[in-house]
Structure 1
Amino acid sequence: MKLDVLNKMTEPLASTPVMPVLFLGHGSPMNAIEENEFVQGFRRIAQQIPKPNAILCISAHWETRGTFVTAMKNPPTIHDFGGFPQALFEVQYPAPGSPELAQETKGLVQKTIVGLDEQWGLDHG
């Protein structure tokens, strides 16, 4: 998707009274350490929407038997990739976790059993 298309999709979000729901695929992991049009587009979106109280991240990199919600106050950043510059492995995302919100999320899912995880952390993306 081109950034102008993404920008057109997000233009109406500023006037929406409810927090928007966005899917933001990170693309190349190198975007975490490079300055490019893709990264600049993310920054523009961040300026257009209000700061959320919480963010629900869904990761395809978490391989488990079953469905889990991260339930720790300070989840570490997981770097489960190889073949990239060392600078990428040094990127940390110290996002605070919320065990209370994890418990609430678990309770909202009705069609499957959901466990709480206190070990894995947040995917690098």
Structure 2
Amino acid sequence: MLVVSAHWLTKGTFITSAEKPETIYDFYGFPQELYDIPYPCSGAAAQIKDMASICSSAFIGLDDQRGIDHAAWSVLKHMYPKANIPVMEMSLDYTKKPAEHYELAKKLAPLREQGILIIGSGNIVHNLRVIDWNIDAKAFEWAVSFDSIVKKCLVEGDHKPLIEYQKIGKNALLSIPTNEHYLPMLYAAALQEQDEEIHFSYEGFQNGSISMRCFSYGKIER
């Protein structure tokens, strides 16, 4: 599996290459139970070798020190609790524009063809500046509006407005004050094959300003 993480920002793009990546607890002030969760997955050394040409053409580097952060393991713990599938994580180059991220994602298409599951882990709406600490708080109207626009674009396969999200207006800017949580969605969208249907496995909000929408293309083996 390859996870594009909202929590690994770098100058340049990198993929983890450690044989046994550590579990990174990159969050603060949460219950101890979360820090006690292990995810002892192996790295994907064999797949990384196969990716050499892709990495070269896309100028992707390797990092053998980086572990797996919670953008990856907090999701995979539920999908594959046995941690028996090799995992790679990919960083987000903070110098790239959204259109460049989208084009980079398209270069990863051969990995799908090889059966590698690619996950974009982030949030379509992620504004912690106005968060309501009641997890069940009613979602802000601007958040619901923007999330609905994104859903419509995804269903129609119209990705240009998603790339140029700033043009959507105020609701987009409120939903994406910084874009690191939004960009992983563009990686997933860019990998949609022609006429491939989208499936929404979850729709909803928490804390008023965080969209928890989940979607997939193709069939995911469990």
Q: TM-score, normalised by structure 1?
A: 0.51
Matched position secondary structure for 2:6: coil
Gaps of 5+ in 1: 1-54
Q: Distance in 1 between matches of 2:18 and 2:65?
A: 8
Q: Which has the higher contact order (CA 8 A, sep 6+)?
A: 1
Q: Distance in 2 between matches of 1:75 and 1:64?
A: 18
Structure 2 counterpart of 1:78, from 10, 24, 28: 24
C-alpha contact 1:79 1:123 (8 A) present in aligned 2: yes
Structure 1 counterpart of 2:5, from 43, 48, 59: 59
Structure 1 ranges of 4+ moved more than 6 A: none
Per the alignment, residue 115 of structure 1 pairs with: 61
C-alpha contact 1:106 1:114 (8 A) present in aligned 2: no
Write the letter of the residue equivalent to 1:117: D
Structure 1 counterpart of 2:42, from 90, 93, 96: 96
Write the letter of the residue equivalent to 2:41: A
**How large is the Cα RMSD of the aligned pairs?**
1.7
Write the letter of the residue equivalent to 1:60: A
Write the letter of the residue equivalent to 2:6: A
Q: Distance in 2 between matches of 1:60 and 1:106?
A: 24
Write the letter of the residue equivalent to 1:62: W
For residues 17-40 of structure 1, what are the alpha-carbon distances to aligned partners after superposition, in whole Å with 9 as ceiling and x for unaligned?
xxxxxxxxxxxxxxxxxxxxxxxx
1 or 2, which has the higher strand percentage?
A: 2
How far off its partner does 1:107 sit?
A: 2.3
Identical-pair percentage: 42
Matched position secondary structure for 2:61: strand
Gaps of 5+ in 2: 72-222
For residues 2-60 of structure 1, what are the alpha-carbon distances to aligned partners after superposition, in whole Å with 9 as ceiling and x for unaligned?
xxxxxxxxxxxxxxxxxxxxxxxxxxxxxxxxxxxxxxxxxxxxxxxxxxxxx111111
C-alpha contact 1:103 1:116 (8 A) present in aligned 2: no
Q: How many residues align?
A: 71
Q: TM-score, normalised by structure 2?
A: 0.30
Write the letter of the residue equivalent to 1:93: Y
How far off its partner does 1:103 sit?
A: 3.1
C-alpha contact 1:73 1:97 (8 A) present in aligned 2: yes
Matched position secondary structure for 1:122: coil
Q: Distance in 2 between matches of 1:110 and 1:72?
A: 19
C-alpha contact 1:71 1:103 (8 A) present in aligned 2: no
